[in-house]
Amino acid sequence: MYTYIYKTTNKQLHGWYVPEDKPRRECTAERLLINPYNGCSVGCFYCYARALPGNFEEFHKENKIFVFSNFPEVVEKQISELLVASCGYLSPVTDPFQEIEKKEKLSQKIVEIFINYNIPIEFITKCEIPQDVVELIKPSFNEPENSCKKHCFGQVSILTVDENLRRILVPNGATVDKLFENLKILSENRIFAVCRIDPIFPYITDKKENLKEIVLRAKDNGAKHIIASVLDIPVRIYDFVLEKIKKYFGTSVYYDYKNLYIENIGYINAKLDYRLKIFDYLRNLCDKYDLTFALCMEYKIVEDSIFEGLNKIFMSSKNCEGIDIPVYIRKPQEKKFYPAYNCDGACLNCDNPLCGIEELAQKKTGPKGLKLRDYKNFSKKINQQMLVL
């Protein structure tokens, strides 16, 4: 079904994408984004990667998956040139543990590199988490306070408790039971576990009974934090996604989506009042069962071209991923990085950067989309400060 295209690459690590014309970001902490694969065999028809250009267009139209076989070496070279690093993130665009990972182990190799440099790393998956990855990131009972393993964590996307429905929405992902088992394995190995109900499908997975069962089963299996969003649809694949909705769920639901999806916030979003009711229910549910809660990239339109994040209303944690991870720094000529003292990692809300890097404090300046060159510049400043000391 899928064709694998092997390529070498020089692509760079980078931070969150922030539109220059309409700056917005809900992600409170910085991350180094890592994509060893372009395209994904999990096969979600609503995946926003289908709307991206280049390799992703070929993935969408021709079922090609691009495998960057030299990417671990590229990642290590780039990290070796830095003195400042954020938590690594596998992977914002395609599943790091999709089928090809069993053969190539690119994600696993990158996890090992981050651990060797004592930089934390996280992942998001709809697949089974490889045990080798768990072994790499799990902290020991006597783990040093400055070990990155205390800040590594995993996020598991669980959209429904109905296995038949899961096969439609996540056709080549792990079973519902295996997804909850993922959370249990993380928790039992002292790894912070996050359950993502992301995305929620209006009129399909939005019933309160479904949402409540996900939350309660997630908690029972060791999750500490819930992240949610309602499906948003990239403009470029709007018709494609709606046709899939019609194919799988019928004409009536198709027209329900036509009527509901009328807000353009970069993507086509469901009406605000619908989303607010869903998020209010989930926040109250998480409060009741002693779980923290946050949203992922959910906004409302304040006025023309001005968007306001909904996390200021609904988030109950300091950082949107539920765990506070400091910026990591190291001294010149030393290999290992260590957490910046007293840093909580919430750069988006910071105006007093304890890491010493003014550019990371974005409460006054607004969100930034950082590139590798920015991290290199931060490293030069850290280097100069250390030389002065």
pLDDT level of residue 388 (50, 70, 90 thresholds): very low
> Is the pTM of the predicted complex or chain greater than 0.85?
yes
Q: What percentage of the chain has pLDDT greater than the value 90?
A: 89
Cα(4)–Cα(36) distance, integer angstroms: 13
What's residue 387's pLDDT?
52
Please check the confidence at residue 170 and state whether its pLDDT lies above 60.
Answer: yes
Retrieve residue 250's tokens. 């019928």
| pLDDT (mean) for 11-24 | 86
Residue 305 has pLDDT above 90, yes or no: no
* DSSP codes of every residue in 241-267: HHHHHHHHH-HHHHHHHHHHEEEEESE
Instruction: Count the Cβ atoms, other than its own, within 10 Å of residue 243.
Output: 13
Q: What is the pLDDT of residue 385?
A: 67
Instruction: Round to whole Å and give the CA distance between 72 and 101.
Output: 13
Q: Is the pLDDT assigned to residue 389 strictly greater than 60?
A: no
Which domains does the chain show, CATH number per domain? 3-388 (3.20.20.70)
Q: At residue 302, does pLDDT exceed 80? A: yes
pLDDT band (50, 70, 90) for residue 296 = very high
115 contacts 155 by C-beta, under 8 angstroms: no
Q: What mean pLDDT is predicted for residues 49-76?
A: 97
Residue 118 pLDDT exceeds 60: yes
Measured torsion, CA atoms of residues 84, 87, 91, 95, in degrees rounded to the nearest 10: 150
Per residue in 119-166, pLDDT (tens digit) is 999 999 999 999 999 999 999 999 999 999 999 999 999 999 999 999
The band of 266, judged by pLDDT with boundaries at 50, 70 and 90, is confident
Query: Taking Cα atoms as reference points, which of 85, 132, 92, 96 lies closest to residue 325?
Result: 85
Local confidence band at 384 (pLDDT 50, 70, 90 cut-offs): low
Q: Are 251 and 318 in contact (CB under 8 A)?
A: no
Residue 219 has pLDDT above 70, yes or no: yes
Average pLDDT over the chain, rounded to an integer: 95
Task: Tell me the C-alpha distance between 227 and 374, whole Å.
Answer: 29
DSSP letter string, 135-147 = HHHPPPTT--TT-
Query: At residue 323, what are phi and psi to the nearest 5 degrees?
Result: -130, 140
Q: 20-24, 189-193, 197-201, 280-284 — which is least confidently predicted?
A: 20-24
Whether the pLDDT of residue 340 is over 60: the answer is yes
Residue 284 has pLDDT above 50, yes or no: yes
Residue 20 has pLDDT above 90, yes or no: no
Nearest by Cα to 197 from 277, 127, 126: 126
Mean pLDDT of 3-32: 92
**382 pLDDT tier (thresholds 50, 70, 90):** confident
Strands (E), the chain: 3-7, 31-34, 37-38, 64-68, 84-85, 87-90, 121-125, 153-157, 192-200, 225-230, 261-265, 267-270, 292-295, 299-303, 306-309, 328-329, 338-339
172-216 tens-digit pLDDT: 999 999 999 999 999 999 999 999 999 999 999 999 999 999 999
